[in-house]
Amino acid sequence: MKNIFAVAGVVIKELYRRKDFYVLFILTVLICLVMASVNVFNDKQIVRYLKELCLLLIWVSSLVIAITTTARQIPAEREQRTLLPLLAKPLSRNQLIFGKFLGCWLACGLVLICFYVFFGALAASRDHAWPLLNYFQAALLHWITLGVVIALTLFGSLVLSAPSSNATICFVGVAAVLCVGRYLNAVALAQGEPSRSIVYALYFAIPHLEIPFEMRNLIVHDWPLIGWNFVALDALYLLAYAAAFLIATCLVFRRKPVN
């Protein structure tokens, strides 16, 4: 484990020394503050729009940070040949993959803490309420969803040649899952065979990330907490996908030439 944590530590250092996070955080803060400073249509419920926009920006920013940070990890190590002195140490390839995953995931967790603290402060300034447990549930499932995205991107970084193409494909794929994944079963019903079976297979194969994504509505509309057993089940479901992607990544990396 010490090797995995050592690799993860370097990934976290890299993230906070680069400008990506700061740029996205400042942009989100600026957009939300500008939105908070005006009351369009003099609507008393304007705070809901504000919260919805802020959460959407947090989701987009966190996905951008997770995908771009992960997509460059292994390709950059190979291109800059930093992999050579690293793998010449008593570090296995699997440990490297798990370290990279853990580093990206923990780094994204830190990013989410910053975003959700800002969101909480912004919402409290208008709502005068701190539904901390709701925020915790939303942030927790959000973070676990990012785990699936990071594992998927790490896998993509080994099978796709360029980090930019991997990042684009992952971003489009995740956006498609978030926006249309839940409707695939309805689409399947409207199809004839064999399309129906194919679309159904796709529906059951893809990781359904929409539950964490829709947790936004609970916060925006001040709905009550969802059951913790349901949160735990969804977390397990998502972690199973992350584990599957990580195992696939380890299997591919085992056969990859180092240089």
Partner 1 sequence: MQTGVIKIENLVVEYPARSFGDKPNAAVKKLDLEVHTGEVFGFLGPNGAGKTTTMNVLLGFVEPTGGRASLFGIDVRQPIARQRIGYLPELTYYYKFLSAEELLRFYAKIFGLARSEADRRIDQLLKLVELESARKRPIKSYSKGMQQRVGLAQALINNPDLLILDEPTSGLDPLGRMKVREIIQRLKHEGKTVFFSSHELGEVETVCDRVAIIHQGELKAVGRVDEITGRHASLEKAFLSIIDFQTSTAS
Q: Is the CB of 23 or the CB of 232 nearer to partner 1?
A: 23
Q: Which of 42, 85, 161, 229 binds partner 1 (CB under 8 A)?
A: 85
Q: Which CB atom, from 91 or from 252, has the smaller least distance to partner 1?
A: 91
- Greatest alpha-carbon span in the chain: 64
- Say what the alpha-carbon torsion angle 197, 202, 205, 206 is, to the nearest 10 degrees: -160
Regarding 14 and contact with partner 1 (CB under 8 A), the answer is: yes
Q: How many Å apart are CA 105 and CA 83, to the nearest integer?
A: 21
**H or E segment to which residue 232 belongs:** helix 228-255
Q: How far apart are CA 80 and CA 77, in angstroms?
A: 5
Binder among 13, 22, 125, 214 for partner 1 (CB under 8 A): 13
Q: Quick one: which of 10, 66, 78, 17 has its CA closest to 253?
A: 78
Q: What's 158's DSSP letter?
A: H
> Is residue 10 near partner 1 by the rule CB under 8 A?
yes
Contacting partner 1 (CB under 8 A), which of 1, 38, 40, 88?
88
User: Contact at 8 Å (CB) between 66 and 149?
Assistant: yes
Strand intervals (E) in 27-160: none
- Residue 223, Cα to own-chain centre: how many angstroms? 24
Residues within window 90-109 making contact with partner 1, judged by CB under 8 A: 90-92, 95
Nearer to partner 1, 121 or 251 (CB): 251
CB of 29 to partner 1, least distance (A): 25
State the number of binding residues for partner 1 (CB under 8 A). Answer: 26
From 10-18, 63-71, 107-115, 231-239, span contacting partner 1 (CB under 8 A): 10-18
Q: Which of 154, 155, 57 is nearest to 111 (CA)?
A: 57
Identify which range of 37-45, 54-62, 107-115, 251-259 contacts partner 1 by CB under 8 A: 251-259
DSSP 227: P
* 6 forms part of the interface with partner 1 (CB under 8 A): yes
Q: Does 252 bind partner 1 (CB under 8 A)?
A: no
Q: Is 19 in the site for partner 1 (CB under 8 A)?
A: no
**Based on CB atoms, which residue is closest to partner 1, 18 or 48?**
18
